[in-house]
């Protein structure tokens, strides 16, 4: 998400151009990059997000390689960009087109630069986990999204490169001026550099990190981008305009004093992000450009995901979540139940909202958004499988919801042609359960577990599955589950205190063991 951060650069770091001037600094950096490139045969990986820092970094690498004779360009440089599938659509289109142009220009210039757009595994995508599995919207203490969507795809690419080549050098646009935490992290690894300018990668063995713009300020980056033409043909002024459009005040100064926030500190990222209180970037885009009002349904959905208590303003989505954990267990914290995944009703509501936002964006957005996929067909198929197969929601409501919201037929047929449960049977089951949701869910699961095991030659796991279903459905409501969990914990605490009050020798004698024999009863 493009998010203004007025705290960045407040430590008034000096310009990276101060010592040698603009031209002298750029010349030294290009020479340094060329020397590092030619020093070994280790392949390079350049991280590219389409933002200002990664663009400046990639431009430096490109320009340095361009100055080398073609015979010296022997080492591949892989440009990787991770599409989380929930990127701001405007930025996603920008990055995709930039990578396409970059690949074409690299071939024309005979540069060993390859562009790769990475995506998370299907089971790791945002909507598969939130709508399919029911993970609650991310929060600082349950930040399940970052590793799945961003870190894993890039780390997997780099790990494969290391396996094939023994080592890899990762070139990043990280800067110390971004934040004090970033500066501390970078300085900590500086002390462990194995070669000048190469720091060890803290998470991936046999890979090293090179940060050519680490000492630049935001204004240094913008000055470079405005003064040096983008070598693969993407106008950096358009990038500046995009940052400017995401700034709340519509301005993007290149030279500022320490008290003035610059849109140069903005960040592109996921439009569904609930780790911040507001998506200021999308709000600003809609506010500053009437042509981007089509993004309003996306902003509304993001705000709906960030469920908060009207009185306290704090995150509170317990009414949307099951009182049981994913495995059916009950967990307590401060004598209260810790709620688990979203309920079926909540998950179906999120699906409707995503499909509706997608429909509206396609209808109201520019031509580039006519085929916009906020949620892909592959994700819908996996969500449907999770609902029907793993959660035993045999109603199979996803195709019906898809048709009702989009006005189009769902592209796939029945998930299981052998299933005996149709709408009439499901309604009959609801009537028999007298609209008792927990009773209905338990009965539905027991029937589906038996059906899934019916055709097996050996019904391995049947009794365990039935036992889990009965345990999960053994409560009348959340209050009963909480009371039972509190009583069990109290009994456990009493038993532990009673056990601790008995001397060790007496306990051993009661258990029939000889003191001093650590292997007694081991057989």
In a domain, 277, yes or no: no
In a domain, 145, yes or no: yes
pLDDT of 289 reads 81
Distance CA 284, CA 280 (A): 6
Q: Is 108 in contact with 101 (CB distance < 8 Å)?
A: no
CA angle 206, 211, 214 (to 5 degrees): 145
In a domain, 376, yes or no: no
Distance CA 89, CA 361 (A): 10
Q: Rounded to 10 degrees, what is the CA torsion of 311, 316, 319, 325?
A: -160
Q: How many domains does the chain have?
A: 1
In a domain, 478, yes or no: no
Eight-class DSSP state of 247? S
pLDDT of 405 reads 97
In a domain, 423, yes or no: no
The position carrying tokens 């009439």 is 424
Question: Closest Cα to residue 341, out of 484, 128, 109, 198?
Answer: 128
pLDDT of 167 reads 94
In a domain, 304, yes or no: no
* pLDDT mean by block of 10 residues, the chain; 523 residues: 39 82 95 94 93 94 97 95 91 92 96 96 97 94 90 93 94 77 57 68 86 92 95 91 67 33 51 85 84 92 91 88 87 87 96 97 92 96 95 93 96 80 86 87 88 77 85 84 85 81 64 48 38
Domain extent for 233:
22-246
Distance CA 357, CA 33 (A): 45
The full DSSP string for 448-480 is HHHHHHHT-SS-TTHHHHHHHHHHHT--SSHHH
Q: Is 128 in contact with 384 (CB distance < 8 Å)?
A: no
Chain centroid to Cα 152, Å, comes to 9
pTM (two decimals)? 0.84
In a domain, 117, yes or no: yes
- In 131-285, at which residue ranges do the beta strands (DSSP E only) sit? 168-171, 199-200, 207-210
Distance CA 239, CA 219 (A): 14
In a domain, 42, yes or no: yes
Distance CA 306, CA 282 (A): 15
Distance CA 50, CA 92 (A): 9
pLDDT of 186 reads 55
User: Domain holding 46: CATH number?
Assistant: 3.40.50.620
Q: Rounded to 10 degrees, what is the CA torsion of 271, 274, 276, 281?
A: 20
């Amino acid at each position: 998400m493009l998010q203004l951060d007025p705290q960045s650069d407040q430590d008034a770091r000096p310009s990276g151009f101060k010592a040698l001037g603009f031209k002298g600094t750029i010349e030294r950096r290009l020479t340094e990059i060329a020397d590092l490139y030619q020093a070994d045969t280790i392949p390079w990986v350049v991280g590219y997000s389409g933002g200002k820092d990664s663009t400046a970094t990639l431009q430096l690498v490109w320009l340095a390689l361009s100055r080398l004779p073609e015979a010296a360009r022997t080492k591949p440089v892989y440009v990787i960009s991770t599409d989380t599938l929930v990127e701001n659509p405007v930025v996603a289109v920008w990055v995709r087109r930039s990578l396409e142009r970059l690949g074409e220009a690299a071939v024309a210039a005979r540069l060993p630069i390859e562009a790769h757009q990475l995506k998370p595994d299907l089971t790791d995508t945002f909507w598969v986990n939130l709508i399919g599995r029911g993970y609650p919207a991310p929060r600082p203490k349950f930040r399940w999204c970052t590793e799945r969507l961003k870190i894993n795809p890039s780390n997997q690419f780099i790990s494969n490169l290391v396996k094939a080549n023994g080592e890899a050098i990762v070139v990043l646009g990280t800067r110390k001026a971004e934040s004090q935490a970033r500066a501390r992290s970078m300085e900590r690894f500086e002390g462990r550099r194995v070669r000048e300018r190469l720091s060890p990668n803290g998470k991936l063995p046999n890979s090293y990190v090179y940060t050519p713009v680490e000492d630049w300020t935001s204004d240094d980056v913008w000055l470079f981008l405005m003064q040096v033409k983008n070598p693969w043909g993407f106008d950096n002024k358009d990038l500046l305009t995009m940052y400017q459009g995401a700034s709340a005040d519509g301005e993007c100064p290149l030279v500022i004093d320490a008290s003035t926030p610059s849109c140069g500190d903005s960040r592109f990222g996921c439009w569904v992000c609930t780790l911040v209180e507001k998506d200021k970037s999308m709000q600003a885009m809609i506010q500053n450009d009437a042509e981007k009002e089509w993004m309003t349904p996306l902003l509304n959905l993001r705000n709906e995901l960030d469920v908060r208590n009207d009185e306290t303003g704090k995150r509170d989505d317990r009414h949307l979540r099951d009182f049981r954990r994913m495995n059916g267990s009950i967990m307590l914290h401060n004598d209260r139940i810790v709620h688990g995944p979203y309920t079926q009703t909540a998950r179906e509501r999120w699906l409707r909202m995503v499909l509706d936002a997608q429909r509206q964006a396609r209808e109201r957005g520019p031509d580039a958004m006519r085929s916009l996929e906020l949620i892909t067909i592959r994700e819908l198929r996996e969500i449907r499988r999770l609902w029907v197969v793993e959660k035993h929601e045999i109603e199979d409501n996803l195709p019906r919801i898809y048709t009702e919201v989009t006005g189009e037929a769902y592209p796939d047929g029945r998930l299981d042609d052998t299933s005996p449960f149709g709408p009439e049977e499901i309604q009959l089951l609801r009537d028999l359960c007298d609209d008792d949701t927990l009773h209905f869910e338990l009965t539905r699961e027991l029937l589906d577990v038996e059906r899934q095991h019916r055709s097996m030659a050996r019904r391995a796991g049947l009794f365990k599955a039935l036992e889990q279903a009965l345990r999960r459905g053994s409560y009348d409501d959340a209050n009963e589950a909480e009371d039972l969990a509190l009583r069990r914990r109290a009994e456990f605490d009493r038993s532990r205190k009673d056990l601790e009050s008995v001397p060790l020798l007496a306990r051993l004698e009661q258990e029939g063991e000889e003191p001093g024999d650590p292997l007694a009863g081991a057989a």
